[in-house]
Amino acid sequence: MLKGYADHWGLVTGASSGIGAEFSRQLAARGMHLVLVARREDRLRGLAGELEAAHGTRCEIVPADLSQPHAGRDLLAEVSRRGIAIELLVNNAGFGLVSSVEQTDVGRALELIQVNVTGLTELTLLMAQEMVERGHGGIINIGSVVSFQPVGYMGVYAASKAYVLHFSEALWAELRSRGVTVTALCPGTTRTEFFDRSGVPGWAERNWSEDVKTVVSTGLKAFDARRSYVVSGWTNYLLSLAVRLATRATVVNGSMSVFRPRVAPH
Ligand SMILES: NC(=O)c1ccc[n+]([C@@H]2O[C@H](COP(=O)([O-])OP(=O)(O)OC[C@H]3O[C@@H](n4cnc5c(N)ncnc54)[C@H](OP(=O)(O)O)[C@@H]3O)[C@@H](O)[C@H]2O)c1
């Protein structure tokens, strides 16, 4: 449970674009000071200037590559060196990988696990330990609609998001009576740079998708209600329920058509 938004500090990873930038905007609008984290420092500086001008809140920028081992530990050491206590952590940084097995860049797949799973775990546990000791605080982890099912040609990414959901739910149950709220926000296709950087450019524009404002409002509403998880969008929610009714083989076979590589015309 948060002590409050206004005049407390939040930390948003992946704040340089998409859902993370929108989280930063909506949290600053609630009066929260923010630590903005990502690799693209110029973007973070631009956003910090915008938020400070619009809301009079403070922003600290910490450029960091979360694919590096112990980047989470180093990040929190830097935050504490700056004398900041984090009330809300938003673990949003992440990326996708759409590829057939034989085309998969294995190094990139391991980097994905480092950012989406290992780095998130390090940040979550270190922050949760501090929050439990204090007796208040909150963590929002970004899962996905694919947290609920395996997806052909997107196996590593979908599995990484299944981890995020399960891990978050376990912490929600363990910590909710100790003053700390953990919520997993599971968006469906959302219009950001995500698919352009995941190997399927233009995907979000070609398919039904949500805007970041809706996704983030849904996440914050669920967090305020101390829910363990929320799926953004009714269609996505129904999909997350439907996959429980079919056999696992049916679900994963069905997923194959979504990202199956097109054979180039001769
Ligand atoms: N868009 C969707 O359809 C969708 C659906 C479900 C879930 N999600 C999840 O939502 C989250 C945000 O994605 P998005 O849609 O907003 O995509 P995005 O616009 O590509 O944003 C991804 C963010 O993650 C950061 N990031 C990536 N690798 C990083 C690294 N090694 N170190 C530090 N930061 C890193 C990026 O910053 P830099 O590149 O500047 O470092 C960027 O700020 C991700 O966890 C994604 O899996 C997205």
User: Mind listing the pLDDT tens digit for each residue in 107-116?
Assistant: 999 999 999 9
Q: Round to whole Å and give the CA distance between 265 and 133.
A: 60
Closest CA to 155 of 143, 146, 166, 167: 146
**Atom 8, ligand 1: which residue's CA is nearest?**
144
Locate the ligand 1 atom nearest the alpha carbon of residue 14 and give its number. Answer: 43
Compute CA 92 distance to the chain's CA centroid, rounded to the nearest angstrom: 3
Token pair 């149950």 in the structure block, residue: 173
Give 95 Cα–ligand 1 centroid separation in angstroms. 5
Buried b / exposed e across 79-115, counting CB within 10 Å, b at 16+? beeeebebbbbbbbbbbbbbbeeeebeeeebebbbbb
Strand 180-186 versus strand 137-142 pairing type: parallel
More confident residue, 179 or 261: 179
Q: Quick one: pLDDT at residue 263?
A: 57
pLDDT at 266 over 70: no
Average pLDDT of 152-161?
A: 98
**d(C-alpha 219, C-alpha 227), whole Å:** 10
pLDDT of amino acid 260: 87
Please name which of 74, 73, 66 lies closest in space to residue 14, comparing C-alpha atoms: 66
What is the structure's pLDDT at 1? 83
For Cα atoms 2, 94, 188, give the angle at the middle one, nearest 5 degrees.
80
> How far is 7 from 57, CA to CA, in rounded Å?
8
Cross-sheet strand order for the sheet of 9-13: 59-63, 33-38, 9-13, 86-91, 137-142, 180-186, 229-231
Q: Which residues pair with 10 in a beta bridge?
A: 34, 88
Instruction: Kindly state the average pLDDT of the residues 163-191.
Output: 98
Q: CA dihedral in degrees (180, 34, 168, 141; nearest 10)?
A: 160
| pLDDT, tens digit (0-9, with 9 covering 90-100), for 190-220 | 999 999 999 999 999 999 999 999 999 999 9
Looking at residue 170, its pLDDT comes to: 98
Residue of the nearest CA to atom 25 in ligand 1?
Answer: 14
Q: Is residue 123 over pLDDT 60?
A: yes
Q: Report, at the CATH architecture level, how domain 9-259 is classified.
A: 3-Layer(aba) Sandwich (3.40)
**3-state SS, residue 191:** coil
| pLDDT for residue 137 is more than 70 | yes
- Is-catalytic flag, 157? yes
Q: Do you know the residue count of the chain?
A: 266
* pLDDT at position 26: 98
Distance 195 CA to ligand 1 centre (A): 10
pLDDT value for 147: 98
The domain locations on the chain are 9-259
> How do residues 17-64 score in pLDDT, each as one tens digit?
999 999 999 999 999 999 999 999 999 999 999 999 999 999 999 999
User: Which atom of ligand 1 has the smallest separation from the CA of 161?
Assistant: 47
* Per-residue pLDDT at 265 exceeds 60: no
Mean pLDDT rounded to a whole number for the chain: 96
